[in-house]
Structure 1
Amino acid sequence: MPTIVVDVMPKAELLDPQGKAVAGALTRLGVDGFSGVRIGKRFELFVEGEVDEALLETARKVADDVLSNSVIEDVVGIEVVE
């Protein structure tokens, strides 16, 4: 069954308090090598049948209109996984 995966992230210019908290926790745990953390959302839209361009366009519209808040978030990826 194909799945359309939509990734949504906070806009780069906005603060990400959850990401900041995780970054702080990593530092306290002694984990090095990461300069920051940003936390987003992943949506999986399950498809019965084939994924064609029309369905992908519908997924893009749903991602923009329903799955993300365009004031504070960007849709950063839409992909089909089998």
Structure 2
Amino acid sequence: MARVVVDVMLKPEILDPQGKAVHGALPRLGFGGIVDVRQGKRFELEIEGEATEERLAEVHKIAETLLSNPVIEDYAIHVEGATASGKHTA
């Protein structure tokens, strides 16, 4: 069994109100030196067997059709414990 992680983030040109709210709160809470904050989503998928190229291609399809909105979001996929990763920017 392998764990595949899909990180979904708003594209850089898309406004991120939640990230801005967190960024604005940091100085009020005594935290400094943070230039920007972007909020995203993380999905962990447990897959049967090994994380083969075919299985990862299927995860890319899942990320494109269900986990992200390709119009406003990018996603990155990596296998936990592995050095190989894939990033999708539409």
Unaligned runs of 5+ in 1: none
Unaligned runs of 5+ in 2: 82-90
Give every structure 1 segment of 4 or more consecutive aligned residues whose post-TM-superposition deviation is greater than 4 Å. none
* TM-superposition CA deviations, 1:30-50 (whole Å, max 9, x none): 211110100000011111221
The aligned residue for residue 81 of structure 1 is: 80
TM-score calculated relative to the size of structure 1: 0.92
Distance 2:18 2:41 in 1: 12
Question: Percent sequence identity over matched residues?
Answer: 58
Which structure has the higher relative contact order (CA within 8 Å, separation 6+)? 1
Distance 2:68 2:51 in 1: 22
RMSD: 1.0
- Write out aligned runs for 1:1-82 (5 A): 1-75=1-75, 77-82=76-81
TM-score calculated relative to the size of structure 2: 0.84
Distance 1:36 1:81 in 2: 27
SS at match of 1:63: helix
Paired residues, what number? Answer: 81
